[in-house]
């Protein structure tokens, strides 16, 4: 077993042993999945909308280069500065240079998975820029020295009691500040408001970029997103190159599904469309042609970081993803182990394809094994991504590169050789049935040797039947005559 696989299994064991984590995951994923189901059931054209959203995303990925070029033209015409980052290092270098050019010492951030992916906070801190997360969940994650466990709800793994303790220990909260959830929310709001007012740079992600208008769309349920993008004099939006649609009409189609799939809302509380910096005029204020609010400079940083390698390949469909998190909420594996067990920025079924796809099979191929292939993720996906097929493709690629454990690399060719020879296969099945009858108790095998013991460590294995299906079928036909 590789070091990466060993570490993965250790994280899984730790997660399964954490009963508090299990309770938190069951509560929140159940609520989110139930909310999605109710919202989609109340949406009269849900299935047609899913088909249309899939068509839009597929078409956008098929002509990604054209749409990105159009976005750059339109955004530049509206006063934005567009940057291109091939790697994570390029992206952090670009954002750090923007901060240094603007002499920024404090940056506030709205939630951005891309910023987590490229490890932006650490890069900015090394350059002397203090970074403050302003999404409530991300704020808790930051002061805890933790990392998000879910695409939509970063602290799905923490209870309100955990947060209260953190606020007392790390943020000097008084007892009355953590008396209940409204008090904790108010405490976070007061703490963060001062940071917003002092910050020289606001950093956000982007849920969608619209090519025809050079617009960045942000979808949030907290006011921090708008404060991040309007109060500081510089706004930087980090955008994965795949997060683009051709038109405003296409944006509307995607938004009709995003919140319903993520949280069960018909629409998120805040939907912000940003098309450039504050416009100057003859004087301050709308009456004289100027805009009193908004940043002086808006930078859009498109991040590739492995995405272009997926284009045209067998995993390209994962680029359709709109990051709603619905697949996590229905996944029986994620529901048991949570996001940290996956070890990367993107957990769950989508992460099991994205992480090896972007960052390489060698360190991340094991994630695709953490799936029952039940298909619940495919059923929940608003753009109908065939995640089971993609997970099987990751497994196939890993097998082709001989990344599977040695015992499995030996066992599978042996099984294939036996399965291709009917007489030999029937003999092997009969032998397995006899052996199973010898070691089973009450029809169940309670212990298996070697790697197979991973199954019986937590559950019994059904004893192989002493008669094959075909044998039983023939006997029933004869008995019916």
Q: What is the pLDDT of residue 288?
A: 58
pLDDT in tens, 62-71: 999 999 999 9
pLDDT in tens, 16-47: 999 999 999 999 999 999 999 999 999 989 99
- Answer yes or no: is pLDDT of 157 > 60: yes
Average pLDDT over residues 437-448: 87
Pairing of strands 215-220, 234-240: unpaired
Q: What is the pLDDT of residue 287?
A: 53
> Which of 212-216, 288-292, 431-435 is modeled with the greatest confidence?
212-216
Q: What is the pLDDT of residue 282?
A: 46
Three-state secondary structure readout of 177-210: HHCCHHHHHHHHHHHHHHHHHHCCEEEECCCEEE
Q: What are the start-end ranges of the H helices in 298-445? A: 307-310, 326-330, 334-337, 348-359, 361-364, 376-380, 387-400, 406-419, 422-439
- Answer yes or no: is pLDDT of 474 > 60: yes
Q: What is the pLDDT of residue 113?
A: 95
Q: What is the pLDDT of residue 289?
A: 62
- Answer yes or no: is pLDDT of 149 > 70: yes
Residue 270 CB neighbour total at 10 angstroms: 14
Average pLDDT over residues 439-459: 86
Average pLDDT over residues 1-14: 86
Helix (H, G, I), strand (E, B) or coil at 284: coil
Q: Give the model's confidence band at 95: pLDDT under 50 very low, under 70 low, under 90 confident, else very high.
A: very high
Beta bridge partner(s), residue 297: 234
Contacts of 10 (CB under 8 A, 6+ apart): none
Distance CA(405)–CA(21), nearest Å, equals: 29
Distance CA(424)–CA(427), nearest Å, equals: 5
Distance CA(376)–CA(76), nearest Å, equals: 42
Pairing of strands 215-220, 208-210: antiparallel
Average pLDDT, the chain: 93
- Answer yes or no: is pLDDT of 310 > 50: yes
pLDDT in tens, 403-437: 888 888 888 899 999 999 999 998 888 888 888 88
- Answer yes or no: is pLDDT of 325 > 70: yes
Q: What is the pLDDT of residue 285?
A: 53
Q: What is the pLDDT of residue 464?
A: 86
Pairing of strands 297-303, 234-240: parallel
pLDDT in tens, 230-289: 999 999 999 999 999 999 999 999 999 999 999 999 999 999 999 999 987 645 555 556
Q: What is the pLDDT of residue 281?
A: 65
Kindly tell me the burial class for residue 452, based on how many C-beta atoms sit within 10 Å of its own C-beta (0-12, 13-18, 19 or more). Answer: middle
Complete domains list, the chain, with CATH: 1-42+332-404 (no CATH), 46-305 (3.40.50.10420), 414-480 (no CATH)
Average pLDDT over residues 295-302: 97
CA-based radius of gyration for the chain: 26
Contacts of 475 (CB under 8 A, 6+ apart): 467
């Amino acid at each position: 077993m590789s070091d990466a696989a060993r570490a993965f299994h250790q994280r899984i064991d730790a997660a399964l042993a954490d009963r508090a984590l299990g309770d938190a995951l069951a509560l929140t994923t159940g609520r989110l999945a139930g909310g999605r189901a109710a919202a989609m059931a109340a949406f009269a054209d849900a299935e047609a909308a899913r088909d249309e959203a899939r068509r839009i995303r597929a078409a956008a990925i098929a002509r990604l280069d054209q749409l990105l070029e159009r976005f750059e033209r339109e955004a530049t015409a509206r006063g934005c500065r567009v940057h291109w980052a091939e790697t994570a290092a390029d992206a952090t270098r670009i954002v750090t240079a923007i901060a240094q050019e603007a002499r920024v010492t404090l940056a506030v951030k709205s939630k951005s998975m891309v910023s987590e992916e490229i490890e932006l906070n650490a890069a900015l801190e090394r350059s002397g820029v203090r970074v403050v997360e302003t999404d409530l969940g991300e704020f808790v994650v930051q002061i805890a020295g933790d990392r998000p466990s879910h695409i939509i709800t970063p602290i799905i793994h923490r209870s309100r009691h955990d947060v209260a303790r953190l606020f007392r220990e790390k943020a000097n909260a008084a007892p009355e500040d953590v008396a209940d959830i409204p008090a904790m929310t108010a405490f976070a709001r007061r703490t963060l408001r001062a940071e917003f007012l002092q910050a020289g740079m606001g950093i956000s992600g982007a849920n969608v970029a619209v090519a025809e208008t050079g617009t960045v769309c942000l979808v949030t349920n907290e006011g921090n997103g708008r404060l991040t993008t309007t109060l500081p004099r510089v706004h930087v939006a980090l955008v994965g190159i795949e997060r683009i649609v051709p038109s405003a009409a296409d944006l509307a189609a995607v938004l009709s599904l995003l919140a319903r799939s993520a949280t069960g809302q018909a629409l998120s509380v805040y939907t912000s469309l940003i098309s450039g910096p504050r416009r100057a005029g003859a004087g301050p204020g709308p009456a004289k042609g100027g805009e009193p609010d908004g940043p002086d400079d808006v930078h859009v940083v498109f991040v590739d970081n492995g995405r272009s390698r997926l284009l045209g390949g067998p995993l390209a469909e994962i680029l359709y993803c709109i990051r709603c998190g619905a697949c996590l909420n229905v996944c029986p594996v994620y529901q048991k182990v949570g996001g940290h067990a996956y070890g990367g920025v993107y957990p769950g079924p989508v992460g099991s394809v994205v992480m090896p796809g972007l960052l390489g099979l060698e360190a991340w191929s094991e994630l695709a094994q953490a799936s029952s292939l039940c298909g619940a993720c495919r059923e929940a996906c608003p753009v109908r991504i065939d995640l089971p097929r993609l997970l099987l493709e990751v497994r196939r690629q890993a097998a082709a590169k001989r990344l599977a454990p040695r015992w499995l690399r030996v066992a599978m060719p042996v099984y294939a050789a036996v399965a291709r020879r009917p007489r030999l296969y029937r003999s092997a099945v009969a032998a397995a049935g006899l052996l199973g009858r010898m070691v089973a108790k009450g029809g169940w095998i309670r212990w298996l040797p070697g790697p197979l013991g991973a199954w019986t460590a937590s559950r019994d294995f059904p004893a192989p039947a002493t008669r094959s299906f075909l044998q039983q079928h023939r006997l029933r036909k004869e008995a019916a005559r």
